[in-house]
Amino acid sequence: MKNTRRDFLKTFVASSVAIPFVSQACLPEKKLGVALVGLGSYATNNLAPSFVNTQFCRLVGIVTGTPAKAETWKKKYDIPDKNIYNYQNFDEISKNPDIDVVYVVLPNGMHHEFVLRAAKAGKHVICEKPMAISVKECEEMMAACKVAKVTLSIGYRLHYEPFTNEVMRLAKDKDFGKVAFVESSFGFPLRDKKAWRMIPKLSGGGPMMDVGVYAVNAARYATGEEPISVTAQAVKTHPDIYVEGIEETMFWQMKFPSGAISNHTTTYNSYLQRLYVGYENGNLEMSPAFDYGPLKGKTSKGEMKFPIVHHQTLMLDGICGDIINNRPMRTPGEEGLRDVKIMMAAFEAAKTGKKVKLV
């Protein structure tokens, strides 16, 4: 049986979950048109169904290198031929007034190229995480969008759902006092050497550049701080499966300005998913903490009780609502850049065995 991250992360159909009510007075006169670039499992199973309940955007275009997929999506989502592109003629999207936003859902190593091309085409951009496979690429993506005067958001869906927002609130309001310790871990078994995640030029690394980004981001929003240093260790028990440039398991530790410390694991060796936050006067624990839901958790005060929502629907509406209303992006390129800087520092620390300073 083929194991993938998408098999591991549970899928919830938009029509089966609670969607927050939006007043008719708040609705835009015209929904933003979104084109998905890359029609893999995440786009197929999670993003496309999300548009059923979006208030601020709609699916109007696709970009794919597979003609059979184009035909299937055309029929399923009533997409006109003029809004269907491949990777070669993608730049023609600049002439299409139906498409306002391009969502790049390609392998990590392709994010940079297509964000730059989308910006040059004058389209707002959403890019899946991790933002790119190097700090330099992230900075170039941000610069290109700034020059083109288009917005750039990174697909951090958890920033739009209530459990994660409660973790952020506790860091800010300090109901249990200051954060002392964070542990966040995410992993799943992956053995398929032909998967794009196992090809360094496409993935940029192993589990760190796949689900490890969730653990990195969680430490940042759980503390409300940016780490000042990182130490790390990489372990391979199956070097015949995990080639050079693809770590099997990564452990890393971070220190924060307040004195808080964190410990993390990401792996392609086994299932693992948890967020723990220790405060001065209490704690929080979530498991599952990062998948598509339902998320579950508890604090020192008891079970965390929040609505079960469709993450991708809220994220798409949150981003497109900000574009329509000319508000700052909640998950801008800077958010993606910060995580990539930390992950690159962790790779360096694992390679050298030395602590890497982040500021």
Over the stretch 41-75, which tens digit does the pLDDT of each residue have? 999 999 999 999 999 999 999 999 999 999 999 99
Tell me which residue of 87, 1, 26 sits closest to 317, measured CA to CA: 26
- In the chain, CATH 3.30.360.10 covers 158-303+333-357
Q: Is the pLDDT of residue 287 over 80?
A: yes
Which H, E and C letters describe 233-271, residue by residue?
EEECCCCCCCCCCCCCEEEEEEECCCCCEEEEEEECCCC
- In the chain, CATH 3.40.50.720 covers 5-157
Mean pLDDT computed over 268-288: 98
pLDDT of residue 300: 97
- Strand 57-63 with 32-37, pairing: parallel
Residue 29 pLDDT class (50, 70, 90 cuts): confident
Q: What is the pTM of this model?
A: 0.93
Mean pLDDT computed over 120-135: 98
Q: Is the pLDDT of residue 3 over 60?
A: no
Q: Which residue has the higher pLDDT, 26 or 136?
A: 136
Q: How many whole angstroms separate alpha carbon 54 and alpha carbon 121?
A: 25
Residue 143's identity, in one-letter code, is A
Q: How many whole angstroms separate alpha carbon 203 and alpha carbon 213?
A: 13
Distance of CA 154 to the CA centre of its chain: 6
Among the listed ranges 24-38, 39-53, 151-165, which one has the minimum average pLDDT value?
A: 24-38
The dihedrals phi and psi of 41, each to the nearest 5 degrees, come to -65, -35
Residues designated catalytic: 129, 214
Tell me the β-bridge partners of 134: none
Mean pLDDT computed over 92-114: 98
Distances (CA, A) of 95 to 91, 98, 307, 311, 314: 9, 9, 41, 31, 29
> Can the peptide bond before residue 130 be classed as cis, meaning omega within 30 degrees of 0?
yes
pLDDT of residue 359: 80
**Phi-psi category of residue 122: left, alpha or beta, with phi > 0 → left and psi -120 to 50 → alpha:** left
Tell me which residue of 216, 263, 270 sits closest to 248, measured CA to CA: 270
Mean pLDDT score of the chain? 93
Q: How many whole angstroms separate alpha carbon 169 and alpha carbon 304?
A: 13
Q: Is the pLDDT of residue 20 over 90?
A: no
8 Å CB contact between 262 and 233: no
pLDDT of residue 27: 61
Sheet of 32-37: strand order equals 84-85, 57-63, 32-37, 101-104, 124-127, 152-154
pLDDT of residue 12: 33
Q: How many whole angstroms separate alpha carbon 220 and alpha carbon 199?
A: 28
Q: How many whole angstroms separate alpha carbon 281 and alpha carbon 253?
A: 23
Residue 293 pLDDT class (50, 70, 90 cuts): confident
Mean pLDDT computed over 79-107: 98
> What CATH number matches the domain at 5-157, 3.90.550.10, 3.30.530.20, 3.40.1390.40, 3.40.50.720?
3.40.50.720
pLDDT of residue 86: 98
Mean pLDDT computed over 165-189: 98
158-303+333-357 CATH: 3.30.360.10
Residue 230 pLDDT class (50, 70, 90 cuts): very high
Q: How many whole angstroms separate alpha carbon 1 and alpha carbon 189?
A: 11
SS3 state of residue 297: strand
Q: Is the pLDDT of residue 16 over 90?
A: no
